[in-house]
Amino acid sequence: PNTVLDNLGALGESDLKVYLAAVRAVLGYPRQRLSLAYLVRVTGLTKGTVRKALGDLRQRGLLNEDYTPRLEPVSSAQIVPRKPAKNGDKRKRTPPPPAVQAFREITMTYPKKSLWGDIAATVDDLDRWRRIVKRWVALGWNPLNVAGMLDCYRKGEIPGPKRNGRKEPAWKPVERY
């Protein structure tokens, strides 16, 4: 306290604000570390002003700091490339069946892998399969309901709006104006 009072005339307003905020953080509300962001928030000063005030306070001997080096976040650390497999080749993936690829093109997602065999075994006409999947998605139905799509494929139907078991009327009523 005496050192502060001795230097009070030489301290500027921002120096005093930063000093009091640091004292409050250390004595009033004990903090493990005092950050620049905390001092900016508490004092209402800009980063540059807080940095300048900290430099002035250090020169006058009012603040001393135990500096902890800033560690780099893991995301910015240098990434070590993986070593290739012992056989030197990358794992070869078998491409999905053509019907699954068609499904992917339309829905922008793959069906569950456990259903790939059923799709490949059932679908033999890719154009009809594409029409069924596209219509299914266009109606707003669940695009991952592969079982429903395969049922339509087996029945030879293109999905349509629900009619609650009724057939479409042979005639359509005339609209009145």
> Is residue 167 in a domain?
no
What pTM does this model have?
A: 0.44
Please report, for residues 10, 30, 148, the alpha-carbon distance to residue 54 in angstroms, rounded to integers and kept in the order given: 14, 19, 69
> Is residue 92 in a domain?
no
Q: What mean pLDDT comes out for the span 75-82?
A: 59
Q: Do 128 and 153 form a contact (C-beta atoms < 8 A)?
A: yes
Q: How many structural domains is the chain composed of?
A: 2
Cα(120)–Cα(19) distance, integer angstroms: 73
> 104 lies in which domain range?
98-155
> Is residue 67 in a domain?
no
Whether the pLDDT of residue 15 is over 80: the answer is: yes
> Is residue 40 in a domain?
yes
Cα(4)–Cα(61) distance, integer angstroms: 9
Whether the pLDDT of residue 25 is over 80: the answer is: no
> Is residue 176 in a domain?
no
> Is residue 145 in a domain?
yes
pLDDT tens digits along 161-172: 766 666 665 666
> Is residue 93 in a domain?
no
> Is residue 78 in a domain?
no
